[in-house]
Amino acid sequence: MSNKLNGLKQAIKEKARQLGFILAGVASCEPPASYGVFEEWLDANMHGAMNYLDGERSRTRRADPKQILTECRSILVLALPYQPLNQNSSFRISSYALGDDYHDIIPPRLQQIVNFIEEQVGHPIPNRCYTDSGPILERELAQRAGLGWVGKNSMLINPRAGSTFFLAEIFLGIELEPDQSFATDHCGTCARCVNACPTQCILPNRTLDARRCISYLTIELKDDIPAELRPLMGDWIFGCDICQQACPWNRFSAPADPAFKPKIPLPVLTSDLTLTPVEFNQRFKHSPLKRAKRRGYLRNLTVAMGNSGDETYIPVLEQALQSDEPLVREHAAWAMQKVRNKK
């Protein structure tokens, strides 16, 4: 590789650091070695209701990066840190969701990097940018780019930054020398994440049974939460950080990017259970919580109230029995019964 291209790679990484990315590496465009595991996971229906993962087009594109960008010659993989895993609230929200929506924050920064590269080379280059938004197996790409290893809880872990960061990728029609793959597994015999998971959704092959994962249940699942799993959800109302909280590597978590500093007023108030559609949209306009939609957010709140066993929630749960959403009414009835039947 010429010194010019090697210099470009270092300049790109420096630009990424200036934009807040704490990790940056380059992977080749080879098909992912873990694709077979992904296919087996889909075939076992571990993805639950996330049907967007299982289409023929999705499978084809995940199997080969060049199905996404024919001209792909390099993949730049980046990490941007979110809020460390500490919060005091009667109802818990995953730390990544306390600030602005990363889907709004990260893409403009990726475009700035693309613009920088094109300025350096003097011409447009084919590219595709993603952050949890495209049909790619991004954790394998991140490991190949030297950013970390895939832990037992399926999260990418870096020994200097833990796992509290978003991943993002830029597929590039320019050849950059790939970084050395992160070959070491630092999980060892530790099983804290596996033992900490209340729903036991972490599988031995470093994947998850999404159908049992609290993050899936509170965000992706749009219908009734299975009654047998509701008591295991505790006070989580959007996402879950339990496996990451248990991971000893997260004592090294990097400070959050300013965009992800908490903006949602905490603690969550029981009055949220009476939010109108307009009020919900206003409260969570720039928040990832809007992904659960109002009906899902209110459903999750009722479950957390039921799990609390707190009788002071009964009046607001009684109000929820009159909700315009049948989903909320059903879960509110469950929650009231649970509170009243507590021992």
Residue 90 within a domain = no
Residue 127 within a domain = yes
For residue 49, the tally of other CB atoms under 10 A from its CB is 13
CB–CB of 303/231 below 8 Å?
A: no
Last residue of a domain, one of 147, 172, 197: 172
> Of 54-68, 74-88, 209-223, which has the strongest mean pLDDT?
209-223
Residue 302 within a domain = yes
Residue 155 within a domain = yes
pLDDT tens by residue, 205-238: 999 999 999 999 999 999 999 999 999 999 999 9
pLDDT tens by residue, 265-320: 666 778 889 899 999 999 898 999 999 999 999 999 999 999 999 999 999 999 99
Last residue of a domain, one of 125, 152, 172: 172
- pLDDT computed for residue 189 by the predictor: 97
Residue 194 within a domain = no
Determine the Cα–Cα distance for residues 220 and 51; give it in Å rounded to an integer: 10
Residue 244 within a domain = no
Asked if residue 168 and residue 278 are part of one domain, the reply reads no
* Residues forming the active site: 132
Mean pLDDT of 29-56: 95
Q: Is 2 helix (H, G, I), strand (E, B) or coil?
A: coil
Determine the Cα–Cα distance for residues 22 and 12; give it in Å rounded to an integer: 13
Query: How many domains is the chain built from?
Result: 2
Domain of 307?
269-343
Mean pLDDT of 38-51: 96
Determine the Cα–Cα distance for residues 207 and 30; give it in Å rounded to an integer: 22
Residue 208 within a domain = no
Last residue of a domain, one of 149, 172, 195: 172
Beta bridge partners of 24: 78
Asked if residue 281 and residue 167 are part of one domain, the reply reads no
SS3 for 281-312 is HHHCCCCHHHHHHHHHHHHHHHHHHHHHCCHH
Asked if residue 26 and residue 167 are part of one domain, the reply reads yes
Asked if residue 280 and residue 167 are part of one domain, the reply reads no
Residue 226 within a domain = no
Q: Is 167 helix (H, G, I), strand (E, B) or coil?
A: strand
- pLDDT computed for residue 113 by the predictor: 98
- CATH number at 322 reads 1.25.10
